[in-house]
Homo-oligomer: A and B are copies of this chain.
Amino acid sequence: MKSAKDILRRYLKSNGLLYSRQREQVLDIFLKTEKHSTINDLYELVRKKNTKIGLATVYRSMKVICDAGLARETDFGDGARRYEHKYKHQHHHHLVCIKCGRIVEIASPRLEQIQRQLAKKHDFTVSRDTMKMFGICRACKRKSK
């Protein structure tokens, strides 16, 4: 089983790109995060290891890490791009609480099946998909009673 670093290394090499210290640092930090970090989140974390790193480098590194298939961009409509793990994580969708911001990840084979059928019906070759439901979670419903 290849490690995430191996995958990044291989991706970079096969595209004529370099395995820089900064890219490795960003990947290390990203792998340690649990969920849905913004570029700024990652930037601040990486700066604890490397105070000299620039914000643009974090943007650029996450782009490469996505291209390598290790991360996935998600957008919760809050004006900031977020990243989640893609390697060794099953495809999933999101329930987002608009009160407390809690995000629940959900996987549903039946949903995926319907998605495949819909894509086939319209002859689309799908490379990326996203489904989100925004609403109020159980805890917030209790609180507001």
| Interface-side segment among A14-22, A42-50, A135-143 | A135-143
Residues of A at the B interface (CB closer than 8 Å) are: 73, 75, 77, 95, 97-98, 104, 106, 108, 110-111, 114-115, 118-119, 122-138, 141
Contact present for A114 and B111 (CB under 8 Å): yes
In the complex, which residues of chain B have a beta carbon less than 8 angstroms from the beta carbon of A108? 114, 118
Docked complex Cα distance between A55 and B53 (Å): 38
- How many Å lie between the Cα of A128 and that of B127 in the bound state? 24
A110: chain B residues within 8 A (beta carbon): 114
Q: Which residues of B sit under 8 angstroms from A123, Cβ to Cβ? A: 137-138, 141
Q: Are A135 and B124 in contact (CB under 8 A)?
A: yes
Contact of A124 (CB < 8 Å), options: B128, B129, B136:
B136
CB of A53 to closest CB in B, whole Å: 25
Do residues A133 and B111 form an inter-chain contact, with CB atoms below 8 A?
no
Complexed CA–CA distance, A133 and B135 (Å): 21
Q: Tell me which of A110, A124, A127, A134 has the highest count of chain B C-beta atoms within 10 A of its own C-beta.
A: A124
Q: Which residues of B contact A119 (CB under 8 A)?
A: 95, 133, 135
Q: How far is the CA of A8 from the CA of B118 in the complex (A)?
A: 35
Chain B residues with Cβ below 8 Å from A129 are: 131-134
Q: For residue A127, which residue of chain B has the nearest CB?
A: B135
Q: How far is the CB of A100 from chain B (nearest CB, A)?
A: 12
